[in-house]
Amino acid sequence: MWKQLARKMQVIPPRGTPFRKPTKDELLQFSQQHGFTFPASYLEFIQTFGAGTLCNRYFVVAAPDFGLEDEFEARGCQSLAECYNNGEFVHRMIPFGSSGYGDIFAWDPTEVTRNRPLEYRIYILPRHDNTITALCDSFRDFIHEVCFGQAINLAFCGKTDPDWVVEYTFHPTRPQRRKAQYKAHAGDA
């Protein structure tokens, strides 16, 4: 699925310690711990590219390495449920990344958009707005329409940007363990 994109993408490796992609076992362990099955297109992407920054703007991370505590602190909230006044959604969402502007991208595992291969609806939790907005229906669409397209401009501005230039770059990141992974799921009721 990602071979054509891999041919276009300029991968810019990090300096110093080599990065590594999450293993199938790490992803399976996360799935079992959280009762969540990753979308097929996400698994293929992460196993092809690993975690990293796309287009110098959008961050796609392997879920076992992503914590949210920095995001609620940036918003001045005790929890994401408080920030968005939607504890039910925040408890069930599975975040997989954030933009360079502090927006969070997450799946809603109750909104299956395809069964085979499995895909979920993707939402954006904007940093400067408390409205949770649906963006697209698959991780593949997220990469092509949001990261490399103008879906966000259309969703929030109602128009495309005539000066938009697509940058097919990928900066792999080293996995970083956070002290309280998925802290948003605890104590937000």
Residue bearing the bigger pLDDT, 40 or 154: 40
CA–CA dist 62, 43 (Å, integer): 9
> Would you place residue 95 in the very low, low, confident or very high pLDDT band (cuts 50, 70, 90)?
confident
Please give the single-letter amino acid code of residue 101.
Y
**DSSP designation for 161:** -
- Tell me the CATH number at 146: 3.40.1580.10
3-state secondary structure of 121: strand
CA–CA dist 83, 74 (Å, integer): 11
Please list, in sequence order, all residues whose beta carbon lies within 8 angstroms of the beta carbon of residue 184, skipping any fewer than 6 positions away.
68, 72, 79, 80, 81, 90, 91, 95
Q: Using omega within 30 degrees of 0 as the cis cutoff, is the peptide bond preceding 162 cis? A: no
User: Can you give the residue range of the structural domain that contains 126?
Assistant: 3-157+166-174
pTM of the prediction? 0.77
Q: What is the pLDDT of residues 11-24, one digit of tens each?
A: 887 776 666 777 88
Q: Identify the CA nearest to 34 among candidates 71, 67, 68, 63.
A: 63
Identify whether 189 is part of a domain: no
Overall domain count for the chain:
1
Give the per-residue pLDDT at 187.
40
Asked if 182 contacts 59 with a C-beta cutoff of 8 angstroms, the reply is: no
Identify whether 24 is part of a domain: yes
Identify whether 183 is part of a domain: no
> Would you place residue 177 in the very low, low, confident or very high pLDDT band (cuts 50, 70, 90)?
very low
Identify whether 187 is part of a domain: no
Identify whether 30 is part of a domain: yes
φ and ψ of 121, to 5 deg: -65, 145
Identify whether 63 is part of a domain: yes
Q: What is the pLDDT of residues 99-140, one digit of tens each?
A: 877 788 889 999 999 999 999 999 988 877 888 889 999 999
